[in-house]
Amino acid sequence: MRFLLYFSVAIACTAGLFACTAVGPATNIFGTDTPHEQYERSLKRADLDRTALGSDWLAAAGRALQDSLKITLPYRETGYFPANRPIAIGYTLNATRGDRLLIRVQTQGQQSARVFIDVFEVDSKNRVTRAISAQSDTAVLTWDVRRTRAHLIRIQPELLRSVGYTISITREPVLAFPVQGRNSSQISSYFGVPRDGGRRRHEGIDIFAPKETPAIASVGGTIAEVGTNELGGNVVFLNDDAHNQRLYYAHLDRWNVTTGQRVSPGDTIGFVGNTGNARTTGPHLHFGIYADGEGALDPLPFVRLGRGPARQPLLTANRLGDSARVSAKQATIRLAPTADSPGLRQLPRAAALTIVGGTADWLRVELPDGLTGYLTPASIETVQKPIRRVALTTPTDLRAAADVRAAIMQTLPVGTAVDVLATAGGLQLVRIKPGLLGWVAL
């Protein structure tokens, strides 16, 4: 079965649709609506935004931006969206200018479903400061990070669709390594180190290699200048128009390009040498990056080795959606799937929760009040075996959710035997008979 995945970098809040106090406005530089925004508009045209289901969908979109989960790359996990309750999931990660993020999503379900993937760039005050949009029917979204800051990835399916998914997020460098047969582990001198007794700083990286080793184009572009100067010797400037910057190749033994020539990634720019002020050192390439209006940038993030594929062991699909409870005396639900992550809340024994995603090592769980975070599998257990069995001594309302305001499914008479499975605040999840569960105040 084919599933269309809609990838977009979208505006965080659309006026009049949902409240979003901590995230500020953004600009859509493409001037057209993103798929998520188009779907929002279709809900409004059908007056579905005035229904409970439609308003819950919009609210979930905003809530995912406020309550996103923290991850580090590379990362992958599985998750599940139930059809009967609108949910959106937000993942926050730190990204560096020069990173290329690869976001892969696979979905599973009995019906085809649109899944909106929104990627936001967030500043230090938690405001959306930039937005771009892309749409594809493939399972990979590639995004070249333009500024070093947090990025937020939001996943949300359309209404009334049960969707299981696996998301994988990895990083690789924006540029190809500029010396053939070498990689970033062989850089010998880094950006910013003192030069000439501290009178200047090193505005690039040095990559040592045998003389005549090809220095290659790290990106497709146009050769802006071929020439010589006192420090760099034989040099080449390559315009990287895709990222609004210039690449600088210095100390070349000789050139292999001419001014105005178009090159593709991997084309030979010249050959490693030791011209200019490198005459007393071994052959190496000085590689620099200069951005318009900013000057020299650290080239390392642009060419460093990627971190490889995400290797987290995946959670088996049959655990998604399971009801569970805390089995330990106390457990900490965490912001990120690591033991040193900030704790969101302390949970007592028998606290109710639902497994909504995660990995085999860290489960992403949701509490009855909507709080989402990570717990270790060892700290929880299924609710199949009851904690205790009690007989009701007074007529008791059986409610549909862990809220005293939730709808009453029925009133249980005195003497009804119930199995207590889990707790949430002053309410207990009980089983009356196989297949009939609800919440009561005991």
pLDDT tens across 379-415, in order? 999 999 999 999 999 999 999 999 999 999 999 999 9
Q: Is residue 5 over pLDDT 80?
A: no
**Which CA distances in Å does 9 have to 69, 118, 130, 159?**
18, 5, 9, 20
The identity of residue 167, as a single letter, is I
Quick check: helix, strand or coil at residue 63? helix
Map tokens 């802006």 to a residue: 224
Within 8 A by CB and 6+ apart from 213, the residues are 179, 180, 181, 182, 271, 272, 283
How does DSSP classify residue 273?
B
Residue closest to 111 by CA, chosen among 152, 159, 79: 159
If pLDDT is split at 50, 70 and 90, which confidence band does 111 have?
Answer: confident
Q: Is residue 242 over pLDDT 80?
A: yes
Q: Is residue 23 over pLDDT 70?
A: no
Please state the pTM of the whole predicted model: 0.86
pLDDT average, residue stretch 202-221: 97
Within 8 A by CB and 6+ apart from 163, the residues are 80, 81, 107, 108, 109, 113, 115, 157
Tell me what pLDDT residue 27 has. 42
Tell me what pLDDT residue 307 has. 86
- Is beta strand 194-195 parallel, antiparallel or unpaired with respect to 214-216? unpaired
Average pLDDT over the chain reads: 89
pLDDT tens across 198-207, in order? 778 999 999 9
CA-based end-to-end distance of the chain = 47
